[in-house]
Amino acid sequence: MFVQIITANAYNENENITAPKKILEMLDNYISDNKLACTACGGMYKDETYYIMLSYNENEQDIQNRIEEFIVQNNIDSKYIVFFKNKNDMAADKITDPQIIHDTLDEIIAQNNIPAKTVLDDKFNLVGITWVYEVDDSNITCITNEKIELLYSCIFEKNISPTLVRVVSDDSKTISKKSCDANCDLEVNMADAVLIMQSLANPDKYGTNGTDERHLTAQGEKNADIAGDNDGVTNLDALAVQKKLLKLE
């Protein structure tokens, strides 16, 4: 697979659209509206930089030309846009059944340990792919260039119609493993101490199996258990969070 990163040297940076999710939305809509045989997704490489990836068959150079023209016309900053030219020919009888595509991608993701999840969108007959990130106290585990290329290659090799595959922007798929982050919102603040105390005072509502949508999750419980010797979540953990915020620890 050939990878090309195009830069924004030709554009006025002051006028460019630079927000990654906005750019991804614009490109995805353009691809969908024009029924281009191309997939678009956003994600972070191992250098923790957010890129937007576009994959298409190398025999269809017109696709890249049209997208590049669209980028210029809409003042989109292309600094972090990556084109993947796939060398595998696409047969005319591509797989278009969303359920088959969903199951095939699930199998590919599981077999190759790709940090992603699939979502079957019955309303639009599409299959969404969501990258999964894990954040702890020291770093963020990002999807790598190799995994992205592998997934794209498999889409073409399995003869899946790329027009039916979309990336779903869903920050909820980011998994927080930060200590003290009881509510798994990637931040440590008083809300974490409050949730710990709520889960203890009213476990039916805020415990790990609670009925409230903001209840303590299994991962949140692990994050919150910071005081004591792995003795489970207690009021001492809520106190420890408060001490951390007040820099008293």
SS (H, E, C) the chain: CEEEEECCCCCCCCCCECCHHHHHHHHHHHHHHCCCCCEEEEEECCCCCEEEEEEEECCCHHHHHHHHHHHHHCCECCCCEEEEEECCCCCCCCECCHHHHHHHHHHHHHHCCCCEEEEEECCCCEEEEEECCEECCCCEECCCHHHHHHHHHHHHHCCECHHHEEECCCHHHCEECCCCCCCCCCCCCHHHHHHHHHHHHCHHHHCCCCCCCCCCCHHHHHHHCCCCCCCCCCHHHHHHHHHHHCCCC
Is residue 210 located within the same domain as residue 160?
no
Is residue 115 located within the same domain as residue 18?
yes
pLDDT at residue 92, as a whole number:
52
Kindly give the pairing relationship between strand 165-167 and strand 175-176.
Answer: unpaired
Which stretch of 66-80, 145-159, 206-220 has the lowest confidence by average pLDDT?
Answer: 145-159
Is residue 169 located within the same domain as residue 215?
no
- Entry pTM: 0.45
Is residue 138 located within the same domain as residue 209?
no
Higher pLDDT, 40 or 221: 221
Q: Is residue 6 scored above 50 in pLDDT?
A: no
**Position 110: which residue type?**
A
pLDDT at residue 159, as a whole number:
81
Higher pLDDT, 203 or 136: 203
Question: How many separate domains does the chain show?
Answer: 2
Is residue 198 located within the same domain as residue 141?
no
Is residue 66 located within the same domain as residue 136?
yes
- Residue 249 — pLDDT band, cuts 50, 70, 90? low
Rounded CA separation 107/81 (Å)? 28
Is residue 19 located within the same domain as residue 100?
yes
Q: Is residue 229 scored above 70 in pLDDT?
A: yes
pLDDT at residue 79, as a whole number:
77
Is residue 119 located within the same domain as residue 204?
no
Most confident of 26-40, 122-136, 189-203: 189-203
Is residue 37 located within the same domain as residue 143?
yes
pLDDT at residue 206, as a whole number:
95
Is residue 168 located within the same domain as residue 72?
yes
Last residue of a domain, one of 135, 153, 173: 173
Is residue 111 located within the same domain as residue 213?
no
pLDDT at residue 54, as a whole number:
80
Last residue of a domain, one of 118, 145, 173: 173
Last residue of a domain, one of 116, 149, 173: 173
Domain that holds residue 66: 2-173
Rounded CA separation 249/238 (Å)? 13
Is residue 105 located within the same domain as residue 162?
yes
Which stretch of 6-10, 202-206, 220-224 has the lowest confidence by average pLDDT?
Answer: 6-10
**Position 54: which residue type?**
L
Which CATH number does the domain housing residue 185 bear? 1.10.1330
